[in-house]
């Protein structure tokens, strides 16, 4: 591979911003025992820090951990744009940029801390950012990232290429780069893109699902190993022709620490009312989340119980539409994305944490917020399909979550009011969630699984 950049790039190297509690903090002693010792790694994924939510914290933490043991890690990623689907003004006029993570020790302050490892280089590539989600616009988003990946020169020939989906364009580029260089290829599947096209409600998605499946099949069948964050993805991979012996489970880990504040103290820190029963939804406000269902549940609760307050924390392509639907509702508040300190406080301030999905969403993805919700130690109410990935994962918590049918605001409101009347049950659910998170979602376990995945792939 030509080590020279294919276009002129800025010479200044910028410090990269990483999220709180990266995966690398779990195993600081792996530098001398890593299966990547002396090897170069290329990570390809469109979402990366400083994006505060979604897939970015996991891709960032994974790259940070790989940098502990590898000779070098290069990340090909997009310009920050998620969850509001607007290009970060700092990157507005850049075609490409180069950032180097600088060693600063183990201290991290939310999304404002600096990376702690030498040898971690982030190459940001310009791509189209659709303000409104349609199948055609999404195709432009994928294609522009793919083309920029393929035309970007990499300084070090990689020994291992790790692709993260979405974006699908990044996985295709990673497959091409691995083939050209003879590198091992691992694809980490956070979302199934063909399923997303047909299930998420994007305009025209159903028509392009077949083409998306063909591209997704191409990338996944070329991987030496495919890692999935949920076992519910396996059946689709089998349908693509990926044999089970090449599929590994790599669950997401919790990338936040519980705030440590009591509910009253967390509400005081945020300036929230103390007496109301508070229902909180966090994360992306998009088509898949179908938060109009939550708005109508809040409307029902407003008529039945004045002591219930709903809070939607985050941003996304549907935020303004949802705000318009909620016009006049005094028991529903919208709050923008919070930093690494205030976000855990918002979870601690809740009586009930909500996951809401569009009817028909099944095994296409697993909400990244689940790890944070369970770590916070608060009861979870999930309006999701009974056979989907989210329901499957929450059943494993043995009682931390209550499931209700999606797209039914009356049922959602009834569950909210029933749990308000059962504070002891809410407390028990929260304790079960935290117990499950401590046993299954720790960074130590995730780091060990990632190391084992890398070792197996490099030895194949």
State whether 81 and 192 are in the same domain. Answer: yes
State whether 80 and 224 are in the same domain. Answer: yes
Domain count for the chain, please give it. 2
Distance (Å, whole) CA 419 – CA 439:
26
- What is the predicted pLDDT for the residue at 327? 96
Distance (Å, whole) CA 56 – CA 170:
14
- Quick check: is 271 in a domain? yes
- CA distances (Å), 164 to each of 27, 121, 219, 320, in order? 22, 17, 11, 29
> Which of 123, 26, 107 has the alpha carbon at shortest distance from 68?
26
- What is the predicted pLDDT for the residue at 15? 34
- Quick check: is 329 in a domain? yes
Provide the 10 A C-beta neighbour count for residue 262: 11
Residue 38 and residue 73 in contact, taking contact as beta carbons nearer than 8 Å: no
State whether 204 and 282 are in the same domain. Answer: no
- What is the predicted pLDDT for the residue at 160? 97
- Quick check: is 156 in a domain? yes
- Quick check: is 1 in a domain? no
Residue 219 and residue 192 in contact, taking contact as beta carbons nearer than 8 Å: no
Q: Which residue bears the tokens 């917020």?
A: 369
Those residues of the chain that have pLDDT short of 50 are 1-22, 24-32, 103-117
State whether 178 and 317 are in the same domain. Answer: no
Structure tokens at 141: 């988003």
Residue 377 and residue 406 in contact, taking contact as beta carbons nearer than 8 Å: no
- Quick check: is 325 in a domain? yes
State whether 57 and 167 are in the same domain. Answer: yes
- What is the predicted pLDDT for the residue at 177? 96
Residue 293 and residue 383 in contact, taking contact as beta carbons nearer than 8 Å: yes
State whether 455 and 314 are in the same domain. Answer: no
- What is the predicted pLDDT for the residue at 204? 60
- What is the predicted pLDDT for the residue at 460? 76
State whether 430 and 385 are in the same domain. Answer: yes
- Quick check: is 3 in a domain? no
- Quick check: is 7 in a domain? no
SS (H, E, C) 134-199: EHHHHHHHHHHHHHHHHCCCCCCCCCEEEEEECCHHHHHHHHHHHHHHCCEEEEEECECHHHHHHH
- Structural domain range at position 334: 263-440
- Quick check: is 258 in a domain? no
Distance (Å, whole) CA 329 – CA 415:
20
Residue 169 and residue 149 in contact, taking contact as beta carbons nearer than 8 Å: yes
| DSSP code, position 396 | T
- CA distances (Å), 67 to each of 124, 224, 248, 301, in order? 18, 21, 22, 49
- What is the predicted pLDDT for the residue at 199? 56
Structure tokens at 427: 């407390």
State whether 222 and 350 are in the same domain. Answer: no
State whether 410 and 388 are in the same domain. Answer: yes
- What is the predicted pLDDT for the residue at 287? 87
Does residue 395 have a cis bond before it (omega within 30 degrees)? no
State whether 454 and 327 are in the same domain. Answer: no
State whether 419 and 300 are in the same domain. Answer: yes
CATH code where residue 380 lies: 3.40.50.2000
> What's the N-to-C CA distance of the chain in angstroms?
23
State whether 188 and 319 are in the same domain. Answer: no
Does residue 414 have a cis bond before it (omega within 30 degrees)? no
Structure tokens at 149: 């990946």
């Amino acid at each position: 591979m030509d080590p020279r950049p294919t276009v002129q790039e800025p010479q200044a190297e910028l410090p990269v911003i990483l999220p709180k509690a990266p995966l690398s903090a779990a195993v600081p002693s792996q530098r001398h025992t890593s299966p990547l010792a002396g090897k170069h790694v290329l990570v390809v994924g469109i979402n990366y820090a400083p994006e505060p939510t979604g897939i970015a914290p996991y891709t960032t933490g994974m790259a940070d951990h790989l940098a502990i043991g590898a000779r070098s890690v290069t990340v090909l990623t997009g310009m920050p744009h998620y969850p509001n689907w607007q290009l970060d003004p700092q990157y507005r006029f850049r075609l490409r940029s180069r950032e180097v993570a600088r060693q600063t020790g183990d201290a991290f302050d939310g999304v404002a801390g600096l990376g702690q490892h030498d040898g971690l280089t982030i190459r940001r590539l310009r791509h189209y950012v659709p303000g409104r989600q349609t199948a055609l616009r999404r195709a432009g988003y994928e294609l522009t990232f793919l083309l920029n990946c393929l035309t970007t020169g990499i300084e070090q020939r990689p020994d291992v290429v790790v692709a993260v989906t979405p974006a699908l364009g990044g996985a295709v580029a990673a497959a091409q780069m691995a083939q050209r260089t003879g590198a091992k290829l691992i694809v980490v599947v956070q979302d199934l893109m063909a399923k997303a096209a047909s299930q998420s409600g994007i305009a025209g998605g159903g028509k392009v699902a077949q083409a998306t499946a063909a591209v997704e099949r191409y990338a996944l069948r070329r991987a030496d190993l495919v890692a999935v964050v949920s076992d519910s993805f396996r059946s689709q991979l089998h349908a693509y022709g990926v044999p089970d012996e090449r599929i590994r489970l790599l669950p997401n880990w919790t990338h936040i620490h519980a705030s440590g504040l009591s509910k009253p103290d967390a509400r005081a820190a945020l300036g929230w009312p103390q007496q109301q029963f508070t229902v909180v939804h966090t994360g992306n406000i998009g088509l898949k989340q179908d938060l109009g269902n939550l708005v109508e549940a809040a409307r029902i609760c407003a008529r039945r119980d004045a002591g219930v307050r709903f809070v939607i924390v985050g941003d996304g392509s549907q935020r303004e539409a949802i705000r318009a639907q909620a016009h006049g509702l005094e028991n529903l508040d919208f709050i923008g994305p919070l930093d690494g300190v205030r976000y855990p406080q918002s979870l601690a301030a809740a009586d009930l944490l909500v996951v809401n999905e569009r009817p028909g969403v099944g095994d296409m993805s697993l909400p990244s917020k689940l790890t944070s919700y369970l770590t916070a130690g608060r009861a979870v109410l999930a309006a999701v399909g009974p056979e989907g990935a989210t329901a499957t994962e929450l059943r494993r918590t043995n009682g931390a979550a209550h499931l209700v049918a999606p797209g039914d605001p009356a049922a959602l409101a009834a569950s909210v009011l029933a749990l308000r009347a059962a504070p002891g049950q809410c407390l028990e659910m929260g304790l079960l969630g935290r117990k499950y998170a401590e046993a299954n979602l720790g960074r130590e376990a995730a780091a060990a699984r990632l190391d084992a995945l890398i070792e197996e792939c490099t030895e194949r």
